[in-house]
Each structure stands twice: as structure tokens, then as C-alpha cells.
């Protein structure tokens, strides 16, 4: 077995809170999982779950209370590890007095490229993230989405084997999101490992080999998106048009929601035929019948509602 | 090492230039022109004294203000704006970042001082018609001023590794002023012979950098020479003090959680 791309071993992080910073709050609790080489790995969790904290720990921007992590077998304390790693911070911000081209050139200097190589590379990556036309514009004149694109460019500029992206899709328009998805798939094709956090569950379902779900600083599950949530449909959705002047049966009318002239009702799978029968009796026009798949989204909502997730918010004493 | 420190220094210099920091030179130029014309009018044989005194004092004050106010923000701004996040993701150690920032501001101050020195030289030629032999020691005085900038920058940066710009400014200014009067404070202590006062003044005297030794403005304005021993003493003193501050600053900063 090859060494995992990212190995997280019992990472725990307490942040001091309060004016005197005497009390501590646990933001990350004994987190352990690994991301395999070549995987696209999604990191999911509600706001405040600890996703950014985990990534900052990996990048050495903050230091763990306990636990360690390794990237490609190297300790995160080892600066040389950063040669093989690219990082997009959450809501990135850059030197706003530089142009996008100058910024990328600056970062490329830390990778020992020759001047000609830097130029070629910077041009290529500006193109890649759709900033070719804005290369000579100062970053202070950049929109949020443009900054995000510049951030992605600097994260992958040096062909890192492991790319860590903190909410790469945030602030992007639909085209931009699509482009980032393509970049991630491209990186995967090149055999690179991508570890990214997101709130956009459809992106995670579409892109990821595996996902980890975090809530309240605790790991809730790791696995293929389909494994995490059972793909079995629990309910069926019926869309129909009621016939004018005909009342709906009470059981259906109670659950139906009216949208314009149409009605939508969700029934348990086993009650489907009964409901259809009732609709036929009142001469309703059936528009569609479709299974309601539990998605990551549902899984998410269940998580947020469960008491386990708020546990991380309790304060612990030093 | 220079593969990482160099780019940071250059970028810091570039930031200062693009933030129009060098515009202070316009003010300096106006000051020198005004003084030269005024002194030329009066012409009572102390033109050189006045111009040298005024010029060197202005070089020193302009630079000190820059060293303190830019110095306390060097690290803080990068943390606050989070520009540091993507930089530290590159193969660069935190101490290299600090040294790069330090070198970058020093480069800015150096370039600024070169231009001011040229301005001072022009004013001297204007009032005196030519240079005299003792003018060479003006350059030594300017070298001391540069050493002073480096020390103050290191102080400002050191404090900003763990406190806000506001507090760092206060600390740096406080130490600078104490350091300028270090000899006097020492003298007061010895004079009172009160053991408590003595303990405080002696501690201050040995702890705080002695900026008095870096001030050669009066000497050179009066055409005096600066002993060579003072040159290497000051150089060594400043280098040691700066190294200490950088090491201490790095130690603090390297263990710090970025917000
Ligand atoms: N510097 C800090 N000081 C104190 N608490 C912090 C700090 N950084 C993060 N936290 C706390 O840690 C918890 C996790 O925050 P984190 O930013 O990692 O969440 P996240 O999963 O990235 O959320 P989001 O989806 O909103 O980005 C939060 O409760 C937050 O308040
Ligand atoms: Mg986050």
C-alpha cells in the first residue's frame, strides 16, 4: 500500500475564548482519517464544523493542541512538505497593489523556476482560471470571484501533488463553478490528490471519490458519497393537476402543496399505489411520479438537527 | 535562504513604493529648498552648519517615522488581511518571512535616504558653492542614521510579533526616547545614589539600545571628525541588537496561531 496523501491522526484544537482567554473551546476533537493518493476528497460540514481549522492545521498556520498530521508521509512541521502542496485559503485575499501576473510570479519565485519558466507558467495558469484578460489588472480592482480564481491559480501554480482547497466554489458564478469542477477533475486525471471543503453538496456528490463529514469538530462519517447516505428511496413524489370541481381525498389534501394550478404530494413508497388510485378516482391528471433520494443534503440536515453536533460548542475548562 | 528572503524583501519594497511612501521625498525637497534660500539670504557664515544640521535632522526624523509606522504594520497587516496565509503555504519558514520583511523595509529606508542625501548635497552646494573635506564625515553620520533606522525597524517589528500596531508604536517610541536619553537617565541614577532609583536607571541603561551614540549630527555640522572606533562599535552594537530582536521575534512569531 502506498503512503496516503494526507494522514490526519487525532488532530485536536482548542481555541481560547473570553476576554482573559482563560477558557478553552474545542473546535476540533480527535479527528482521524486519511486521504489516499490520487483521490478527490470532499470535506463537508455545517458552518463552524471545523473544516477551515483542519486545513489551517495542515498548513501550519495554527498549531494543534494534540495530534499530528502527515502529508505524503512527511510531518506538517517540515517546510519542505510545502513544495508538494498547494493551498487555497478561505476567502482569499492577496497583495492588492500587485497585478494578478505579478502575484503569481511572486509565488512562483518560491519554487525555483527560471525567469522564462515563471513567465510561461504564470501565463498558462492565468489562462487556466479564466483570468488571461485580467493579468495586468491590480488585485484591488478584482471582484470576489476573480480573487477566488487568482487564489486557485496560486494553489496549483507549482504542480503540487496534493491540493487543499477551502471552499473553492465560493463566490463563483455558475460558469466559474463549472470551470473549477473541470480543474479539479483535471487535477485528478493528472494523478494529483485534491482535498476540498464545500457546502455545495451536489458538487461533492459529483466530484468526490470519498467525502468526510464533520460536525461540531467531530468526524461523523467517511466514505463514498453513496455510502454515506443510503441511496434507497424512502419516499415518492407525485405531481398532479386536480380536476376542477372535484375535491381531493382528505388524506391527500392534507399533505399536498399547491404550486400554481398543480399539486405536489410526497407519500411513503408503500403508499404509492393507494395514492395513485385515489387520484384516479377524483380524475386528477398525473404529471410525474419520482423517487425522492435522500441526498447528502438530507444527511446534512439530520446532522445539524442532532444533539451530537452541538457538543463541540460546549466550553471546556483549562 | 536568499531564495525565500529576497522575494519577500523585494515585495515589501514594492508595496512601499506603490503605496507612495517615497512621496515624503517631495516634502524633504521642499524643506531643503526653503532652508537653502532662506539661509542664503541671511548669509552670516553659518550656512553650512544650519543646512547640515537641518538636513541630517530631517533625514533622521523622516526615516524614523517611516521605520516605526511601517515597521509595526509589516507583520500585522499581513496577518490582518490574511495575505500571509497563501504565502506561508509556500516553502518558506516564518523567520525567513520576518527577515524578508525587515530587509524590505530597510531597503525602502535606504533608497529613501540616498535620495535625501542627494538633496542635502545639492543644498550644500547651493549655499557653499563646493564641498569641503570634512563633508565626508556627513556620510558617516548618515551611516549612523541608517543603523538607527535598522534598530528601530527591528524593535517595531519585534513588538508587532505579539502586540497590536498601536501598542507596538507606543513601545517602540518609548524605547527610542529612553534610548536617546540613556546617558542622561544613567547620570540621574548615579546622581541620586538612591538604590531603588539606581536599580531602575541601570536596568534601563543596559536594556534599552543607546541611541545617543548614533547621533553624530552636531559633530559633523561643526566640521568635526568621527573616530573610526565609533564606526565599528556602533556597527557591531546595532548588528548584535538587531540579531537578538530578530531571533526573539522569530521565536514568538513561529509559535503563534494565525487568527
Ligand atoms: N481563531 C479562532 N479563535 C477562536 N475560535 C475559532 C478560531 N477559528 C475558528 N474558531 C472556532 O472554531 C470552530 C470551527 O471553525 P471553522 O472556521 O474551522 O469552521 P468551518 O467548518 O470552516 O465553517 P464554515 O463552513 O463557516 O467555513 C468555530 O466554532 C469557530 O468559532
Ligand atoms: Mg471554513
Q: Write out pLDDT tens, residues A181-219.
A: 999 999 999 999 999 999 888 888 889 999 998 988 999
- Rounded to an integer, what distance in angstroms lies between the CA atom of residue B60 and that of residue B218? 13
A73 and A216 inside one domain: yes
CA B106 to chain centre: 8
Q: Per-residue pLDDT tens for A98-112? A: 999 999 999 999 998
Beta strand A85-88 with A162-166 is parallel
A314 lines ligand 1 (CB under 6 A): no
pLDDT at A318: 37
Quick one: three-class SS letters along A223-246? ECHHHHCCCCCCEEEEEEECCCCC
Q: Which of A17, A42, A51 to mutate to test the pocket of ligand 1 (most atoms within 8 A of CB)?
A: A51
Residues in chain A: 318
In a domain, A314, yes or no: no
A85 and A53 inside one domain: yes
CA angle A3, A6, A8 (to 5 degrees): 110
A183 and A123 inside one domain: yes
Give the domain-ending residue among A180, A196, A229: A229
In a domain, A307, yes or no: no
In a domain, A266, yes or no: yes
Closest ligand to residue A50's CA: 1
In a domain, A312, yes or no: no
Q: Which domain holds residue B239?
A: 5-254
In a domain, B37, yes or no: yes
Q: Give ion ligand 2 contacts, CB < 5 A.
A: A 51-52, 90
Nearest to A79 among B14, B81, B93 (CB): B93
- Rounded to an integer, what distance in angstroms lies between the CA atom of residue B209 and that of residue B216? 16
Q: Which domain holds residue A277?
A: 235-292
Q: Per-residue pLDDT tens for B169-184? A: 999 999 999 888 888 8
Q: What is the DSSP string of A149-214?
A: HHHHHHHHTT--SEEEEESTTTT--HHHHHHHHHHHHHHHHTT-EEEEE-S-HHHHHHH-SEEEEE
- Rounded to an integer, what distance in angstroms lies between the CA atom of residue B79 and that of residue B67? 19
In a domain, A110, yes or no: yes
Question: Do B90 and A92 make contact, defined as CB atoms within 8 angstroms?
Answer: no
Beta strand A315-316 with A23-35 is antiparallel
Nearest to A89 among B4, B85, B92 (CB): B85
Res. A313 pLDDT band, cuts 50 70 90: very low
Alpha carbon nearest to ligand 1 atom 12, residue: A27
Closest-approach residue (CA) in chain B for A53? B259
pLDDT at A303: 64
pLDDT at B214 over 80: yes
In a domain, A44, yes or no: yes
A245 and A221 inside one domain: no
Number of domains comprising chain A: 2
B81: chain A residues, CB-CB within 8 Å = 93
In a domain, A1, yes or no: no
Residues 6+ apart with CB under 8 A from B172: B68, B71, B72, B152, B155, B156, B159
Say which CATH number the domain at A49 has. 3.40.50.300
Res. B23 pLDDT band, cuts 50 70 90: confident
Residues 6+ apart with CB under 8 A from B93: A79, B4, B254
Give the domain-ending residue among A204, A229, A254: A229
A101 and A200 inside one domain: yes
A53 lines ligand 1 (CB under 6 A): yes
pLDDT at A312: 42
In a domain, B259, yes or no: no
Q: Which of A60, A71, A91 to mutate to test the interface with B (most CBs of B within 10 A)?
A: A60
Tell me chain A's radius of gyration from C-alpha atoms.
24
SS3 content of chain B, % helix, strand, coil (to 5): 85, 0, 15
A23 and A70 inside one domain: yes
Alpha carbon nearest to ligand 1 atom 4, residue: A15
Res. B186 pLDDT band, cuts 50 70 90: confident
A261 and A177 inside one domain: no
Number of domains comprising chain B: 1
pLDDT at B211: 85
A104 and A159 inside one domain: yes
pLDDT at A309: 47
In a domain, A301, yes or no: no
Count CA atoms within 13 Å of residue B2 on its CB side: 0
A170 lines ligand 1 (CB under 6 A): no
Give the domain-ending residue among A229, A259, A284: A229
- Rounded to an integer, what distance in angstroms lies between the CA atom of residue A283 and that of residue B195? 106
Measured in angstroms, the CA of B47 and the nearest CA of chain A are apart by 43
User: Is residue B102 within 8 Å of B139, Cβ to Cβ?
Assistant: no
B19: chain A residues, CB-CB within 8 Å = 97
Measured in angstroms, the CA of A211 and the nearest CA of chain B are apart by 23
Nearest to A110 among B4, B81, B82 (CB): B4
On whether any CB of chain B is under 8 Å from the CB of A91, the answer is: yes
Amino acid at each position: 500500500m502506498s503512503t496516503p496523501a494526507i494522514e490526519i491522526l487525532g488532530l485536536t484544537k482548542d481555541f481560547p475564548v473570553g476576554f482573559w482567554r482563560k477558557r478553552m473551546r474545542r473546535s476540533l476533537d480527535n479527528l482521524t482519517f486519511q486521504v489516499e493518493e490520487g483521490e478527490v476528497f470532499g470535506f463537508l460540514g455545517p458552518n463552524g464544523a471545523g473544516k477551515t481549522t483542519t486545513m489551517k492545521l495542515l498548513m501550519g498556520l495554527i498549531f494543534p493542541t494534540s495530534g499530528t498530521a502527515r502529508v505524503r508521509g512527511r510531518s506538517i512541521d517540515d517546510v519542505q512538505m510545502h513544495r508538494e502542496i498547494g493551498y487555497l485559503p478561505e476567502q482569499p485575499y492577496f497583495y492588492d497593489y500587485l497585478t494578478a501576473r505579478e502575484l503569481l510570479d511572486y509565488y512562483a519565485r518560491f519554487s525555483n523556476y527560471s525567469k522564462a519558466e515563471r513567465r510561461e507558467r504564470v501565463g498558462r495558469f492565468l489562462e487556466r482560471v479564466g483570468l488571461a484578460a485580467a493579468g495586468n489588472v491590480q488585485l484591488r480592482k478584482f471582484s470576489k470571484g476573480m480573487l477566488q480564481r487568482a487564489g486557485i491559480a496560486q494553489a496549483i501554480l507549482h504542480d503540487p501533488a496534493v491540493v487543499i482547497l477551502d471552499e473553492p466554489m465560493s463566490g463563483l458564478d455558475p460558469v466559474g463553478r463549472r470551470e473549477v469542477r473541470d480543474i479539479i477533475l483535471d487535477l485528478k486525471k493528472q494523478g494529483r490528490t485534491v482535498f476540498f471543503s464545500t457546502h455545495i453538496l451536489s458538487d461533492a456528490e459529483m466530484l468526490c471519490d470519498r467525502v468526510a463529514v464533520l460536525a461540531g469538530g467531530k468526524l461523523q462519517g467517511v466514505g463514498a458519497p453513496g455510502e454515506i447516505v443510503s441511496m434507497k428511496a424512502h419516499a415518492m413524489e407525485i405531481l398532479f393537476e386536480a380536476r376542477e370541481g372535484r375535491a381531493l381525498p382528505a388524506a391527500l389534501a392534507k399533505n399536498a402543496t399547491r404550486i400554481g394550478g398543480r399539486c405536489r404530494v410526497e407519500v411513503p413508497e408503500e403508499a404509492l399505489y393507494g395514492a395513485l388510485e385515489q387520484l384516479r378516482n377524483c380524475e386528477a391528471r398525473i404529471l410525474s411520479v419520482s423517487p425522492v433520494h435522500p441526498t447528502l443534503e438530507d444527511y446534512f440536515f439530520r446532522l445539524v438537527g442532532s444533539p451530537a453536533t452541538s457538543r463541540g460548542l460546549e466550553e471546556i475548562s483549562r | 535562504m536568499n531564495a525565500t528572503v529576497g522575494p519577500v524583501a523585494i515585495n515589501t519594497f514594492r508595496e512601499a513604493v506603490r503605496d507612495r511612501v517615497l512621496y515624503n521625498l517631495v516634502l524633504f525637497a521642499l524643506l531643503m529648498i526653503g532652508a537653502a534660500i532662506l539661509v542664503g539670504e541671511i548669509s552670516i557664515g553659518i550656512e553650512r552648519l544650519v543646512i547640515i544640521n537641518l538636513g541630517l535632522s530631517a533625514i533622521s526624523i523622516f526615516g524614523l517615522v517611516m521605520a516605526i509606522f511601517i515597521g509595526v504594520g509589516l507583520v500585522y497587516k499581513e496577518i490582518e488581511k490574511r495575505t500571509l496565509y497563501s504565502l506561508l503555504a509556500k516553502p518558506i519558514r516564518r523567520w525567513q518571512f520576518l527577515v524578508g520583511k525587515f530587509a524590505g523595509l530597510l531597503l525602502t529606508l535606504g533608497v529613501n535616504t540616498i535620495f535625501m542625501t542627494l538633496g542635502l548635497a545639492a543644498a550644500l552646494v547651493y549655499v557653499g558653492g563646493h564641498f569641503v573635506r570634512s563633508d565626508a564625515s556627513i556620510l558617516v553620520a548618515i551611516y549612523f542614521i541608517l543603523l538607527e533606522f535598522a534598530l528601530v525597524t527591528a524593535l517595531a517589528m519585534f513588538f508587532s510579533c505579539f502586540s497590536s500596531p498601536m501598542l507596538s508604536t507606543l513601545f517602540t517610541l518609548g524605547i527610542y526616547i529612553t534610548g536617546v536619553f540613556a546617558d542622561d537617565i544613567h547620570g540621574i541614577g548615579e546622581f541620586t545614589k538612591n538604590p531603588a532609583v539606581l536599580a531602575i536607571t541601570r536596568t534601563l541603561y543596559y536594556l534599552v539600545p543607546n541611541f545617543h551614540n548614533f547621533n553624530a549630527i552636531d559633530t559633523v555640522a561643526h566640521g568635526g571628525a568621527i573616530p573610526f572606533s565609533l564606526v565599528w562599535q556602533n556597527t557591531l552594537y546595532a548588528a548584535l541588537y538587531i540579531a537578538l530582536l530578530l531571533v526573539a521575534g522569530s521565536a514568538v512569531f513561529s509559535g503563534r496561531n494565525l487568527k
